Structure 1
Amino acid sequence: MDVIDIIVAKRDGGELTPGQIDWVIDAYTRGDVAEEQMAALNMAIVWRGMSRAEVARWTDAMLRSGDRLDFTGLGRPTTDKHSTGGVGDKITLPLTPAVAACGAAVPQLSGRGLGHTGGTLDKLESIPGWRAEVPPEEMRRLLGEVGAVVCAAGSGLAPADRRLYALRDVTGTVESVPLIAGSIMSKKLAEGTGALVLDVKVGSGAFMKDPAAARELARTMVDIGTDNGVRTVALLTAMDTPLGRRVGNALEVAEAVEVLAGGGPPDVVELTVTLGREMLLAAGMDGAKDPADALRDGSAMDTWRRLIAAQGGDPDAPLPVAAETLEVTAPVSGTLTRLDAHAVGVAAWRLGAGRARKEDRVSPGAGVTLHAKPGDTVRAGTPLLTLHADDPARFPRAAEALEGAYAFDGPDDRLPLVIERIA
């Protein structure tokens, strides 16, 4: 086959055949299709979309590009969560140990930053010594001993997605239901979990800006999971304002630890508990310990410490702190009624918390602290946001991203935290 023919077929609105999809995924994985050619095909898919049959085959081809893990025989059911990405979305960090503390095994394959959204692996790598690479045999051991593992997909798991994930980040081809669904589900099916809960974000800070688009993505992924024998449910959750009060890698780890200690922002706690209950229910553990109790009684924190240490990290080590800070003060007194998640995410990215190119390194201490959330009353001149960066030259462009990002005493049209459940 010829990759140009495939690109042109999709560019012109055609439906790719199973043979074309199988060939292009395999050839790209082997390096026979160039990065710029796959980028062109991705862009054609963004513009032209894919049918349900194409999405199913695309996902299957990426799944078949590598190995598939099998965690049967662990003695406890496996369950996992995946978020489509948001700003301040550190939920995996407290959720994974909380669910493991309730008796489930959580094989959490995670990714790095994509666009203006943060990546779980980038966040955890701000913990001194922590490593993201865990081979399959060690994953099984940690699931048995700790009850959880958070790691990168190994080179043998959906290697096609591993390459496509990084390429999409730097070619403006992130926002596509078929590409997002194929990426998420190929990786999640490859990891061998028996149950899966999808956190599909909706709002300005999400890749899906409106509930209808998010619903389409959720339905697509639930169908893929169910068709592959994995009990799958999706929640549509709000991402019109950042989750929690800290955005950035080390900043979000610190906030997650607050949640594990029984505190933390109410929205982070609520979503952690809600998703945890769904994970246990999907795993057939509706009579298990409640995740809220695991946060309150310290068992989730104990599991977190074992999880971090088991992957080489020091749970007691100080987290990185950015060298420079800049306060953004409230221009007026009043009630904050809007704080745009996308703008905050872009600001954090410009401060160094994210990547402009796939080979870039992130600054672990960079990010944004929110001193007020919508619904809070503020006084003129008091801190509204604090920007954190290692290089002060980054401040002007970050501040530029925040222009018009907040409003006072206007209509409060925030989305509810949990919008809808799709099963």
Structure 2
Amino acid sequence: MAGWGCELEDDGDLDSARYWYERSAQSPNGCGSLFLGTFLRNHGDLEGARDRFRKAVDHAQAEAAYVLPHLVTDDGDPDAPGRKIRQTYLNNFADAAARLGEVHRALGESDTAYTWLNQAAGLGNIHAMAQLGAMLWDLGRYDEAVRWLEPAADAGVHDAMFYLALIMDDRGNTARAGAWLAKAADGGAPYAMGRFALHLLEHGDIDEATSWAQRAHEAGDPLIEHAFATVSERMGPREEGPQSTNSTGDIHWTPFEHPCGCVIDWGWSSQEADPRSFIAWCTYIINEVCPWHAEGSTIAPEARKSMVLLQWRAGQGGFFAREATGQDVELGRSLTESLRTLIGQLASATHNSIKVGEIPAAYSAALRRHGFDPRSAWFEQQLTDIILNRGESALEPLLRTLEAREGDPER
């Protein structure tokens, strides 16, 4: 039944596929729950997937607890039948635990995610190692992250290669960072292609960097144009390559409304910060009073009409602020409402309130083919459009290309 569900899913008959997955999940063993959970995860029902994976884990755990104590194994013989059976039961549990941990992580349930991923990784599950390493990287626990990322990267997991490269680069080992980025980029992930392009650019390989930047852009990296332009400007003028848009001089402005009612034009400059940091900053400042009304503010009234530079983090540059004027006042209020709504969706429903129908079909299909969650990618794209593109969609050229490819199987 699960196998027939897979065939139907591959053919695009999702309703029939789900029916057979659900039938298979009614069986006494946990195999059907594993298949159904994977289907639900792939189609955005993370909470449903979590429940199914938990049933699969419970079954695998119970099976192992019953069978393993009765096995007679020869620890000196890796080919002994008992040893092989033992490993099979442990692998079944680790596979289910890895998927359960992954979904808990996607739902923002970090402590529970760590528990399951750590168990699965400790049993040698490569997917769990990569997930756990990425999670530890997010938490800034780099030494622990490397312990799990290295074996996963050696096993060919591109996400593990990417995060391992970031750690190597942060530690000044640019040669190893470049080697891992190259392998991750070859895997086809847009973010890996984009980061590899920046690495090449920073090390003077302009032609190759431009090529990878273009590939990342075509693959759907929403930030590569801005990031590439930022690094290029720090290095000096260039004639080719993706160019940043929506700027006034060297400062890129986006207005937002604050709780005090003021609408402030916020800007970032390539000399002070980068676009990813600006996105993080804006999601924070929309819930804070403006710089003029902040407690202890010493900004002179005459400075508000021009601009001021506010430091973000010590030694990490800052962002510009000025009073919004003209049409930017209404734009700022509209963008703030859109941004708060988007963040609210993430906080309250972890992407589940973003309906599948809202995501362009060709875009969603392309993301699934490369192993990405369409809801997550769609959220990040909307975040980029609101903050970096002042509410304008940067996805239209990519969608036209994807739709053309969907209609032409030869492309």
Q: TM-score w.r.t. structure 1 length? A: 0.24
Higher-Rg structure is 2
More strand by share: 1
Whichever structure has more helix as a proportion of its residues is 2
